[in-house]
Amino acid sequence: MTDPLLAQLKSTFGYDTFRPLQREIIETTLAGRDVVAILPTGAGKSICYQLPALMRSGLTLVVSPLIALMKDQVDALVAAGVPATFLNSSIAPEEATRRRAGLDAGAFRLLYAAPERVMLGGFLADLRRWGVSAIAIDEAHCISEWGHDFRPEYRQLAALRRALPDVPFIAMTATATPEVRRDIADQLALAAPTIFQASFNRPNLRYLVTPKKSGTSQILEVVAARPDAAGIIYCRSRQRTEDLAAALAGAGISALAYHAGLDARTRSATQEAFIRDEVRVVCATVAFGMGIDKPDVRFVLHADLPKHLEGYYQETGRAGRDGLPSDCILLFAPGDIAQNLRFLDELPEDAAATARRQLQAMADFAESDACRRKALLEWFGEDWPHASCGACDNCAAPRERFDATVHAQKMLSCIIRIHQHSRRSVGLRHVVDVLRGSKSQKLIDLGHAELTTYGIGADTSAQAWMSIGRQLIRSGHIATSDDRWQTVSVSALGREALAARTPFSLTRPLLVEPARASSATSELACDEGLFQALRALRKSEADARSLAPYMVFGDQALRHMARTYPLDEASFLAVPGVGRQKLADYGAAFTAAVATWLAANPRLDFGPPPSPKPERSAPEETPSTVLESVALFGALRDLEAVATARGLKVATITQHLVTAIERGELDPDPRDFYAAEAEVELRQAADEHGLAALGPLHGALGGRYPYETLHLFRALQRRAQRSASSTMP
Ligand code: ADP
Ligand code: ZN
């Protein structure tokens, strides 16, 4: 191998190829430039500063917010043969003195420290003496008040930059809205940093939304269907985490509860047990998360509806950091929306309004029949240029639609009748009660039992009616007030549809359970018996060194071993995740275990191991399907007409056009997509909310513009910006 970066990657970390952006980030920081890297969880951020630390002279300082995580990271590095250490309040004074002596002697390549240490007297002088040559800021979003995890101590890091102006910074995070990203660069006073932003898609995660049943049997089934798999179950309340953990334990599944009401000792013991594979399932509130660096979490189950999509993305993101297939399961009951809304009543009104919008987006996600991955990525402002992801419930088994014309007409006219009769606004629930002919006293007192629409929908369940109502809200036929009552009215669009007898096709409500979740797909096939034997060996080797099992080898490495049956050094070294140090420490034990296994069991044939994906893909040609849409659009100048002509969805045609605009192959007139007045409104909203994420923009515009329009608007804006900046002197 002549490539020094690849050689280092293999010999220390045991990997043969870089993940996307790793090489680019490493080369940029080694060139002495400041870097901001925004990569999703599991993308492999650590290697982006750990590997350069080994390639340059001097010490790399890593600022990390969590003491527990620091120890894990250093343990993992030492296990890979990298001289690393940490300084924080958890170590005894004699030990700290020893470590400082080591640092004075230049014995370490990486030093981890918490941000508050930076302000301790003399630390900056220490850093200069120790020859700090690079500074990595982990979880850099903690510096921003805009982020979900603001830590005031992070603000002090600017002092580092002032004290060490020539040392390159590398700031890493898995979350960054445009505000947070700007804040990171500003607060750290970075010098024209190179920004790397990876796709937030997590290809190995499967997203499933399942109708929730009451009781715990459904959750027990999900867990029991995944034997040996580590998982996190997120619950709404502390009480529920404890009840669920007890129910799981009662069913013979090792499980513990975790929430902020438990004392610090219990919490860290639970965390430790989870990381060391001593407890399989943690039932937790959202308090459980950031300190969890466990790469082999195979499922994240949301037993209750999360409050917002950001949280949902972060929490599901804790599954499958090692890149192996993992499931994200959301149990959804429409009643959860109401339950969450009730919590919001205690907030001050403007905070509550924001929270309600976020909750609405979350509920829309859960009820939508569109690709979950696409919906998530679009919320974060990313295009997902594929019709189907193949790995979410809606793509795997498209939801059935039904002719809901009569239902929609009944509901819309019922809302109109209520308004005419009482001149007052009511919530969706009340409309449903009228439709179903409820005998509630309040309804009768209001005189709503005399309406012509009273009881005309008794044959349809309340749940189905609520679902229909929410779909009509999403489609803009029903408008809702922004206050806590969320009263409903029929919009102009709704009146038009009613007058024109427009047919409605809606998604059948999620009432019946779809086909049972199959086990994770495309996992590296291997000799499962040997895999289990190697897991047991991994656990005992880890315990002997008081390490977490994943620090010895990841599941991926064990699966490779259980497929290639390495019996000698050369074949053991070929296993991804095996570097020089791991070979020296574990080669003998693991090859012996394989030999023992083969003495008693047949060798199974799985063919050659799958080749890893290349780190960089060549720039692609514009696909012919895009060109075809562009040509048709040139002739027809109407999205729907192109969609009809090609037998594709409008959304797909939109993607084609956006691609063509971005590639400079189409320069359309914006008037083909939106009127001049609309453009003014879109611009105003974009100035306020930015264009990075379309979800907030869509919400801010009250859902009046479909995502297709927003995508086209963004593409045209970006094109305009590009051509403006390229003509600047
Ligand atoms: P992040 O901090 O971005 O969530 P980590 O740095 O914890 O991600 O890496 C996630 C997992 O991916 C770890 O198990 C790590 O060893 C593995 N990994 C990182 N880079 C590579 C690579 N180039 N090839 C294979 N595995 C990798
Ligand atoms: Zn999908």
- Residue bearing the CA closest to ligand 1, atom 15: 44
Ligand nearest to the CA of 203: 2
47 CB under 6 A from ligand 1? Answer: yes
563 CB under 6 A from ligand 1? Answer: no
Strand partners, 403: 505
* Domain 401-507 grouped into CATH 1.10.10.10: yes
726 pLDDT more than 70: no
Distance 522 CA to ligand 2 centre (A): 16
Tokens read off for 351: 């905070």
Ligand nearest to the CA of 372: 2
Could you give the CA distance from residue 299 to residue 286 in angstroms, rounded to a whole number? 15
193 CB under 6 A from ligand 1? Answer: no
| CA 337 to each of CA 176, 332, 475, 650: distance values in angstroms, whole numbers, following the listed order | 27, 9, 18, 30
Tell me the pLDDT band of 199, cut-offs 50, 70 and 90: confident
Distance 208 CA to ligand 2 centre (A): 9
Could you give the CA distance from residue 208 to residue 226 in angstroms, rounded to a whole number? 15
Could you give the CA distance from residue 490 to residue 472 in angstroms, rounded to a whole number? 10
Ligand nearest to the CA of 365: 2
Span 338-364, average pLDDT: 84
Could you give the CA distance from residue 289 to residue 714 in angstroms, rounded to a whole number? 34
Radius of gyration of the chain (CA): 28
Q: Parse the chain into domains and list their residue ranges.
A: 4-197, 205-396, 401-507, 528-600, 624-726
Protein residues within 5 Å, CB atom, of ion ligand 2: 371, 373, 389, 392, 395
Q: Which of 3, 10, 46 to mutate to test the pocket of ligand 1 (most atoms within 8 A of CB)?
A: 46
Distance 556 CA to ligand 2 centre (A): 25
Distance 569 CA to ligand 1 centre (A): 24
**pLDDT of the residue at 620:** 55
> What residues contact 13, with CB distance under 8 A and at least 6 apart?
47, 50, 51, 80, 577, 579
More confident residue, 687 or 577: 577
| CA 207 to each of CA 198, 292, 330, 366, 508: distance values in angstroms, whole numbers, following the listed order | 20, 21, 8, 11, 19
Architecture of domain 4-197: 3-Layer(aba) Sandwich (3.40)
pTM of the model: 0.71
Ligand nearest to the CA of 174: 1
Q: Which of 19, 66, 202, 316 to mutate to test the pocket of ligand 1 (most atoms within 8 A of CB)?
A: 19
Ligand nearest to the CA of 13: 1
Distance 392 CA to ligand 2 centre (A): 4
14 CB under 6 A from ligand 1? Answer: no
Architecture of domain 528-600: Orthogonal Bundle (1.10)
| pLDDT one-digit tens code per residue, 55-65 | 999 999 999 98
More confident residue, 23 or 641: 23
Tell me the pLDDT band of 729, cut-offs 50, 70 and 90: very low
Atom of ligand 1 nearest to the CA of 45: 3
Could you give the CA distance from residue 403 to residue 683 in angstroms, rounded to a whole number? 37
Atom of ligand 1 nearest to the CA of 576: 25
Which residue, chain included where needed, has tokens 């960089």? 616
**634 burial via Cβ count (<10 Å: 0-12, 13-18, 19+):** exposed
Atom of ligand 1 nearest to the CA of 9: 23
Atom of ligand 1 nearest to the CA of 46: 6
**Lowest-pLDDT range of 196-205, 265-274, 523-532, 627-636:** 627-636
Instruction: Please provide the CATH number assigned to the domain covering 205-396.
Output: 3.40.50.300
**pLDDT of the residue at 580:** 93
616 pLDDT more than 60: no
**pLDDT of the residue at 334:** 81
522 pLDDT more than 80: no
Side-chain half-sphere of 199: how many Cα atoms within 13 Å? Answer: 13
**pLDDT of the residue at 147:** 64
**pLDDT of the residue at 246:** 96
Q: Which of 249, 353, 237 is nearest to 304 (CA)?
A: 237
Q: Do domains 4-197 and 205-396 have the same CATH topology?
A: yes
Q: Which of 399, 430, 400, 403 is nearest to 417 (CA)?
A: 430
Quote helix, strand, coil % in the chain, to nearest 5: 50, 10, 40
**pLDDT of the residue at 725:** 53
21 CB under 6 A from ligand 1? Answer: no
423 pLDDT more than 80: yes
Which residue, chain included where needed, has tokens 């034990």? 589
Q: Which of 239-248, 366-375, 524-533 has the highest mean pLDDT?
A: 239-248
DSSP string, 168-218: PEEEEES---HHHHHHHHHHTT-SS-EEEE-----TTEEEEEEEPPSSSHH
Span 572-597, average pLDDT: 95
Span 298-314, average pLDDT: 93
Could you give the CA distance from residue 232 to residue 344 in angstroms, rounded to a whole number? 25
Atom of ligand 1 nearest to the CA of 39: 3
**pLDDT of the residue at 614:** 47
**pLDDT of the residue at 293:** 79
